[in-house]
Amino acid sequence: MTRQAVPTRQVDDERVRITRWDFAPGAATGFHVHEYPYAVTYLTDATLRIVDKDGIESLVTMSAGGSYSRPKGVAHDVINAGTEPMAFVEVEIKIGT
């Protein structure tokens, strides 16, 4: 059984939703579709296995402090493929969407 990543909602107002995600090794978000554009900043180094809506897997390595953004509609499952716990902060942008 796959462990669930732990979301901690930090802000949720009319402009943004900010969530910290903590992952034990092997933990996953579960498949989901992003309803808003979003940006992610890594708090730790991370090796992720990303599974897209078609079941295609990719392995991604991120460094602590690294960031990226994506548009709304991205559909995937995010899994900690590393051997150490990892965490990131996700900022979903509600205004202008």
Q: What is the CATH number of the domain that holds 55?
A: 2.60.120.10
CA–CA dist 82, 65 (Å, integer): 17
Residue 58: what pLDDT?
A: 97
Burial of 88 (0-12, 13-18, 19+ CB in 10 A): buried
- Split at pLDDT 50, 70, 90, the class of 96 is confident
CA–CA dist 69, 89 (Å, integer): 12
Tell me what the mean pLDDT of segment 31-36 comes to. 97
Residue 97: what pLDDT?
A: 62
Domain-embedded: residue 14: yes
Sign of CA dihedral 79, 81, 83, 84: negative
pTM above 0.85, yes or no: yes
Residue 5: other Cβ atoms inside 10 A: 21
Count the domains in the chain: 1
Query: Which residue range forms the structural domain that includes residue 84?
Result: 6-93
